[in-house]
C-alpha cells in the first residue's frame, strides 16, 4: 500500500473553513486513488472527512472542482520551485539538474498528489476545466524547456532537438518518481544514491562530451 489509511472519524462539528477545505482535499486524494476518479463520490469523500455531503457541498460543487483545485495547487508548486531555482542558478546545466531533482522530491514528498496529478487519469472534466489544466501543464513544461534551450544555445546539448531533450529528461524523472512511489515494496537501492545516479546519467547523456 502507498500509505496507511487513517480511521474514519465521526461526524465533525463546524470548524475553520480553511482547515476544513484542506481536510476535504486531502481526503479526496485518498478516495480518488483508492476508487479511481469514476468510483469516487462526494458521499465517500464526505464520510472520509467526517462531515455530511451537504457540508462538503458548501466548499465544492462537485468532485471535478476538487480535482481541479488539487491539480492547480500541484502545478503551482512545481512552477514556483522551478522559478526559484532559475532565479538563483545561472548555469543552465546545474539548473536543469536541480529542477529535475526538485521534481522528484516533490513527488516523493507528496505521493498521493503526484499520482493523481501527474499520472494518467480517467477523470471526465468539462472542456473549460480540462483546457485550464492542460494550460498549466504546458506552462510547467515550457518553463523547464527554457533551461534546456539555454544549454542548446551554448552548444552543449548533444541533440539539436530541444523538445526531444526536454521530454526525455522529464520522462526519466517521471518514471523514477512513479516507480519509487508505486513499487514501494521493491528492494530499491538507497533512495538518494539511486536518484542521483538516474538523474546524472540522464543529464550527462544529453550533453556533448
- What residues does each domain of the chain span? 1-60, 63-206
Predicted confidence at residue 122, as pLDDT, reads 63
CATH number of 1-60: 1.10.10.60
Collect all residues with Cβ–Cβ distance below 8 Å to 137 and sequence separation of at least 6: 75
Torsion angle of the four alpha carbons 42, 38, 23, 12, in this order, in degrees rounded to the nearest 10: 30
Same fold, 1-60 and 63-206: no
Please state which CATH number belongs to domain 63-206: 1.10.357.10
| pLDDT single digits (tens) 112-147 | 899 888 886 666 778 888 888 889 999 999 999 999
d(CA 203, CA 136): 25
Q: Whose grid coordinates read 531533482?
A: 101
pLDDT of 167 higher than 50: yes
What three-state secondary structure class fits 18?
helix
157 DSSP β-pair partners: 207
Helices in 40-126 by DSSP H: which ranges? 42-49, 53-57, 63-88, 92-109, 111-118
Q: For position 9, what pLDDT does the model report?
A: 47
Amino acid at each position: 500500500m502507498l500509505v496507511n489509511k487513517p480511521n474514519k472519524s465521526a461526524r465533525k462539528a463546524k470548524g475553520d473553513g480553511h482547515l476544513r477545505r484542506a481536510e476535504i482535499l486531502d481526503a479526496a486524494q485518498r478516495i480518488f486513488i483508492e476508487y479511481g476518479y469514476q468510483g469516487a463520490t462526494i458521499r465517500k469523500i464526505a464520510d472520509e472527512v467526517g462531515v455530511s455531503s451537504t457540508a462538503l457541498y458548501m466548499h465544492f460543487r462537485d468532485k471535478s472542482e476538487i480535482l481541479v483545485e488539487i491539480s492547480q495547487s500541484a502545478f503551482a508548486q512545481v512552477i514556483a520551485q522551478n522559478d526559484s531555482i532559475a532565479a538563483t542558478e545561472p548555469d543552465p546545466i546545474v539548473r536543469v539538474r536541480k529542477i529535475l531533482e526538485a521534481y522528484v522530491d516533490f513527488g516523493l514528498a507528496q505521493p498521493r498528489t503526484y499520482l493523481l496529478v501527474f499520472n494518467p487519469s480517467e477523470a471526465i472534466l468539462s472542456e473549460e476545466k480540462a483546457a485550464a489544466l492542460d494550460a498549466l501543464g504546458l506552462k510547467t513544461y515550457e518553463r523547464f524547456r527554457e533551461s534546456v534551450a539555454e544549454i542548446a544555445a551554448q552548444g552543449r546539448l548533444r541533440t539539436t532537438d530541444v523538445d526531444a531533450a526536454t521530454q526525455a529528461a522529464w520522462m526519466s524523472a517521471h518514471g523514477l518518481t512513479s516507480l519509487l512511489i508505486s513499487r514501494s515494496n521493491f528492494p530499491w537501492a538507497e533512495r538518494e544514491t539511486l536518484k542521483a545516479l538516474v538523474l546524472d546519467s540522464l543529464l550527462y547523456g544529453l550533453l556533448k562530451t
